[in-house]
A and B are shown apart, each in its own frame.
Chain A
Amino acid sequence: MQRIGVFICWCGSNIAATVDVEKVSEVIKQEKGVVFATNYQYMCSENGQQIIKNAIKEYNLTGIVIGSCSPRMHEATFRKAAQAAGLNPYMVEVANIREHCSWIHKDRAEATEKAIILVRTAIAKVLLNTPLAEGESPVTKRALVIGGGIAGIQTALDIAEAGFEVDIVEKNATIGGRMAQIDKTFPTLDCSACILTPKMVDCAQNEKIDILSYSEIESVQGFVGNFTVTIRKKARYVDENKCTGCKVCMQYCPSKKGLNEFNMNMNTRTAIYIPFAQAIPNVAVIDPEQCIKLKTGKCGVCKLKCSAGAINYDMKDEFIERKYGAIVVATGFKPIDLDNFNEYAYKDSKDVITSLELERLMNAAGPTNGVLLRPSDNAHPKDITFIQCVGSRDVSGCGKPYCSKICCMYTAKHAMLIREKYPDTRVHVFYIDVRTPGKNYDEFYRRAVEQYDVDYIKGMVGKVFPMANGKLLVQGSNLLDNEQIFIESDLVVLATAIEPEPSVRKIATLLATSIDTNNFLTEAHPKLRPVESPTAGIYLAGVCQGPRDIPETVSMASACAAKVIGLLVKDKLKTNPCIALTNENMCNGCSQCANVCAYGAISYIEKEFRLGGGKTEVRRVSYVNPAVCQGCGACTVTCPSGAIDLKGFSSKQIMSEVETICKK
């Protein structure tokens, strides 16, 4: 015989002002199965919970219903209270009489009547609840970090620091990412390479960290604590273990026309190359698109010249399968394509460049060895115009609706660096707003304006015209003076919007995690769980989740590491008990349920059944892996015989709720 206790919460006046809580508990007392009903000001408070605990013990309750706020708010609280009093936590149901009742209805009689029905419905359900126990699944104590930029590097270092093994999978031939391409960092103006490359070296030297460069994720199976990932190690045609990074091959390689991606294609490189001097691993790679040997079979110079014998033209992509407990996505960003922005003459003039290209032009290891020269004629530019928000905050559909967040600061940085190094240069900046939230950020921007006399113009640029004299005429508006202005410029720099690295889409699919309309990965909660993805065991670091600068990315990376460490220190994970379960006696083994399971939780086994009279028969029946099932219930509706049911949301429970909620 079921003995149900009902607890109606006033939530101060939040519920009690609209719902007659006294009446609700009085009426509910008469319900079948209910042996105790009461109401209290704050059920979630220490005192409220004590009332629940006492009643459970005193009335020997077999199940309880709380009429209160949304179960999304306090279901866990009340389950814990029940458990503390010796009642199975899954014998608790919450009737949402606040969000779904008192807060949205004004008429007291109407709201009270609805509250009674909602509580009755919860009683109808709890009468059919069964005690459930959380399951356990083991944890593989190794983490995977996808992406070897500063986000991935920091995450890996922090995880390794805690003593766990971690692999970095980087699709390029070296780790370092975008930060390696940057010349100086705001707001301190320290050299990007000087602060990044030591961390890269730390990664290479840390025995807990395995860097899988020039590799991509091929497939992902499993679930939190138990991922199995197949990694494609792309053929680099150079044996990583043999190559010493001496670069002799680069001196002799006859194919020199490959565009240098690291320098934003502004100069060329050989077919066999090391992306940049401080690359990690410091190992060459052959670009098969450029290599004469790989394309025609004739050449082989690098192999001849390599004293280490590292060159192998027959190398094939290799597949490695590894198990991980947690996965961090740190795939980063790229500047958007400027195909939709012909007005800035990016395609027409070599002297219209993106900010990232400017970084390379100003970097000592860049195509001009750090001397700022116009790409068209290698002259020193005297008038430089920066255009902000190119493709950012753009609701026209050509660009991105969001703010790319970093552009205001790096443009101030560029302007300042140029004025510092070349004081005879005039620098103009067209901006919509200058956004400088961050420690020492606004001070930084003010320095550009006040100390370095950078000409900030509030307004948009209409068009950039390449002129016959080789200069660029920038036509813009000055909103503060309300006038059209024309600036003859030698160089135009576009603060190009950033977007998630496109490969993240495929990765999101493989990881079964969600992605928004701008291709940013979605966090589990925008405020309270910003570094977790909605899929358990998958974490997000850096710009793959949203635009952010280096300090924010590093914070996020460390936060991810903390989450990962918190997961990996556990030997077992508790699993949600509200999952599907097959009644083997009714299962047809028809395989439809496995088809709709997004998690691959369902498999089939041959099982022997006893018939009467000593006879047996073997039938194919489905088996739900309790560690994999997430409890959505897709299978339950697919099953024609109703052999598969969902614990905690069983067909019988829902049918009973339906019947009760419809009663007038």
Chain B
Amino acid sequence: MVNRDLLLKRAEELFDAGAVERVLGWTNGEFSYDQSPAVFSNKEDLANFVYDAFCGANLSKYLIEQTRQKKKTAVFLKGCDTFSFNQLLNEKRINRDFVKPIVIGCEGKLDINKIKEKVEGVIEDVSVEGNTVTIKTLDGTYTFDDKREFMLEKCLSCRGIAEVEDAEEIDIEHQFVSDGDRFSMVHKLENMTEDERFAFWQAELSKCIRCNACRNVCPACSCVKCVFDNDQSGVWTKAPADSFEEQCFHIIRAFHVAGRCTDCGECSRVCPSHIPLHLLNRKFIKDSNSLYGEYQAGVETDAVHPLIKYTEQDLDPTKAVAKTEGSNE
């Protein structure tokens, strides 16, 4: 586990040296497991700085606001965050001059919901030692020896760290990288019948309470103004729950981030209704890979994504759809 104190020490040094005006990190929430992103503006604030197994939040998005205010900001970037950071640089959303990126190793973050399913009682503390997870609740202490059981969905398909130019690195040797197939669930859905797929998504999307958490957390959904809040787009309607806006929100959102989504998995992590939203984005990624060649957003800061380029040989949609179906056989 990357040491909190190591990061804290570095953050303090940067403030002392006057090298930065802000530090982007994580702070404690109400419970020991709901750490959230925080902007620290001086050394004293850093008292609340945390870094532990529940710091899953992606910090890259907050740099848009910080750098726009021209505040030199140090940011801690986990593996998944590095892709988002590069992608935002690609989209010229972050002013690189005002960022001091610090890439940190990550051995996988935990999903409190998975823990809650396995233990009884109010959780007081969770500690991780290697692969062992120890959970203290008011009812007792539980020990599990496979951390993966509790890891966030997004960590289970971790692709490691993207190269960030001119970045400081702390403890990146300790990086968890998944060897699993991140498209296995997409495959499974593709192999269902049309009716089964529809039933699956109807059930999932019906859980949506339209809280906008997915949109708010998504680094790709960082529009100055969202199309759903834009009355010129024609989708904006204050309307009952079965309106266009409600139903197609997730389709449009997935389409809008297609090509730009780094698959950081934040959407699914924050969804209070536990809708597997990442499966929507992954479908686009999988299809795009099979039709237009492998592409990972956020690897390069000058890459051109598949939806804003073409080749003369691209398949027509009917054939393309047939190919995406056939790729599972």
Contact = CB atoms under 8 A, between A and B. Distances in A.
A touches B (Cβ under 8 A): yes
Contacts of B93: 588-590
B176 to A, nearest CB: 31
B262 to A, nearest CB: 15
A102 to B, nearest CB: 30
Contact of B232 (A588, A589, A651): A651
Contact of B222 (A586, A588, A617, A619): A588
B226 A641 contact: yes
B283 to A, nearest CB: 18
Contacts of B68: 617-619
Given A589-B92, A590-B92, A592-B308, A643 B224 contact: yes
Interface in A594-638: 595-596, 604, 617-620, 638
A639 to B, nearest CB: 8
Nearest to B309: A595
Given A589-B93, A591-B91, A595-B304, A640 B225 contact: no
A267 interface: no
Contacts of B307: 638
Residue of B69, B93, B224, B309 with highest tally of chain A CB at under 10 A? B224
B130 interface: no
Contacts of B91: 588, 590-592
B234 A655 contact: yes
Contacts of A591: 91-92
A621 to B, nearest CB: 9
B223 A586 contact: yes
B256 interface: yes
Residue of A586, A595, A642, A655 with highest tally of chain B CB at under 10 A? A642
A642 B230 CA distance: 8
B304 A645 contact: no
Interface residues of A, number: 28
B18 to A, nearest CB: 24
Contacts of B230: 586, 641-643
Given A595-B304, A641-B227, A617 B69 contact: yes
Nearest to A658: B234
A652 B92 contact: no
A651 B233 contact: yes
B234 A583 contact: no
B38 interface: no
A591 B90 CA distance: 9
Contacts of A596: 308
Contact of A585 (B92, B225, B256): B225
B257 interface: yes
Interface string B230-250: 101111000000000000000
Contact of B227 (A589, A595, A617, A642): A642
Nearest to B257: A640
Nearest to B68: A617
Contacts, number: 66
Nearest to B233: A642
Interface string B154-195: 000000000000000000000000000000000000000000
A654 interface: yes
A604 B68 CA distance: 16
A418 to B, nearest CB: 48
Nearest to A645: B232
Given A595-B304, A655-B234, A643 B92 contact: no
B233 A595 contact: no
B224 A587 contact: yes
A620 B309 CA distance: 22
Given A650-B232, A652-B233, A654-B234, A638 B308 contact: yes
A505 to B, nearest CB: 13
Interface string B120-152: 000000000000000000000000000000000
B232 A641 contact: no
Contact of B224 (A586, A595, A650): A586
B308 A595 contact: yes
A656 interface: yes
A570 to B, nearest CB: 35
B127 to A, nearest CB: 41
B256 A588 contact: no
A4 to B, nearest CB: 20
B59 to A, nearest CB: 19
Interface string A567-592: 00000000000000001011111111
A586 B227 CA distance: 9
B234 A588 contact: no
Contacts of A604: 92
Contacts of A643: 223-225, 230
A646 B256 CA distance: 18
B235 A655 contact: yes
A290 to B, nearest CB: 38
A194 to B, nearest CB: 47
B139 to A, nearest CB: 47
Contact of A656 (B226, B234, B304): B234
Interface string A298-325: 0000000000000000000000000000
B226 A651 contact: no
A589 B222 CA distance: 11
Nearest to A591: B92
Contacts of B226: 641
A638 B256 CA distance: 8
Nearest to A595: B308
Interface of A: 583, 585-592, 595-596, 604, 617-620, 638, 640-643, 645, 650-652, 654-656
22 contacts: A583-B232, A588-B91, A590-B92, A591-B92, A592-B91, A618-B68, A638-B307, A640-B223, A640-B227, A640-B256, A640-B257, A641-B223, A641-B224, A641-B227, A641-B230, A642-B227, A642-B233, A643-B230, A650-B232, A651-B232, A652-B232, A655-B235
Top 3 A-B residue pairs of the complex, sorted by shortest distance between their CB atoms: A655-B234, A641-B223, A590-B91
Interface of B: 68-69, 91-93, 222-227, 230, 232-235, 256-257, 304, 307-309
Given A641-B230, A651-B232, 4 more contacts: A641-B224, A650-B232, A651-B234, A652-B232
